[in-house]
Structures are given as structure tokens and as C-alpha cells.
Amino acid sequence: MVDNKLADNNFYLVCGDRHWQYHAEHPSGVQEFSTGALVDANSRPGRKAGDPLGTDPDGLIKQHYLQDPPSGGFLHVAVVPPTKHRSAIIAFMHRNEHGKLLNLQTNQGK
């Protein structure tokens, strides 16, 4: 991804395999958004960067959002098309299982 400059070209990863919601950023600039578990009963606490039992024991990943306390929910993604005066905008919204907004991250295209 770095060799092909995907990290510099509005490239995002969406993960649905974890049971918690988060927004993380790799040192290369690639951002990852996890959809989390759909309902409270299937959610669990996420591992923080630097946790020796997690996937980032060295704490290299920047965590912009980590759902706390754990609950069910979903990731809502919306794209606003570009206009003559601005680039496209993408919004990533973590919501709980009832649709309440928990976290909002917006990025404008380059």
C-alpha cells in the first residue's frame, strides 16, 4: 500500500471481524474503522495500543476512537460528492445498537 501510495490517496480499511468499535491509524497513515458487534450481547472490550496481549504490543498504532464501555452497534459510512468548490467528504459514524451516534470522523478528499 505504501509503495503504491494508497495511504496518501484516501484509502480506508473497514473491518468487521472484531467485537468492538474503533478507529485506528497505522504509522503509514492507513486508517481502519471497525464495525464492531451488532448487539450488546456480542460485544467485548477492545485492546488498547501497547497492550502486550493485543495485536500492537509496541503501541505503534494511533487510536482515535475505542468504544468504551463496549456495546453493540454498527458503522455508518456516508460520502458527500465533490462540488466545483470542494473535494468529496467521507464520514465514518460509529453508532450504538439503537442508532445513537457515538463517534464521528470526517475526511475531505485530496
Per-residue pLDDT at 64: 95
Percent of the chain with pLDDT over 70: 96
E strand or H helix at 76: strand 73-80
In this structure, the strands spanning 12-15 and 31-34 are parallel
Mean pLDDT computed over 43-48: 90
Does residue 1 lie in a domain region? no
Model confidence pLDDT, tens digit, residues 50-98: 999 988 999 999 999 999 888 899 999 999 999 999 989 999 999 999 9
* 6 domain-assigned: no
Structural domain includes residue 48? yes
Domain extent, residue 46, equals: 12-108
Q: pTM for this structure?
A: 0.86
Residue appearing with cell numbers 463496549: 70
Q: How many domains, in total, are found in the chain? A: 1
The residues facing 62 across adjacent strands are 25
Q: Which three cell numbers stand for residue 22?
A: 474503533
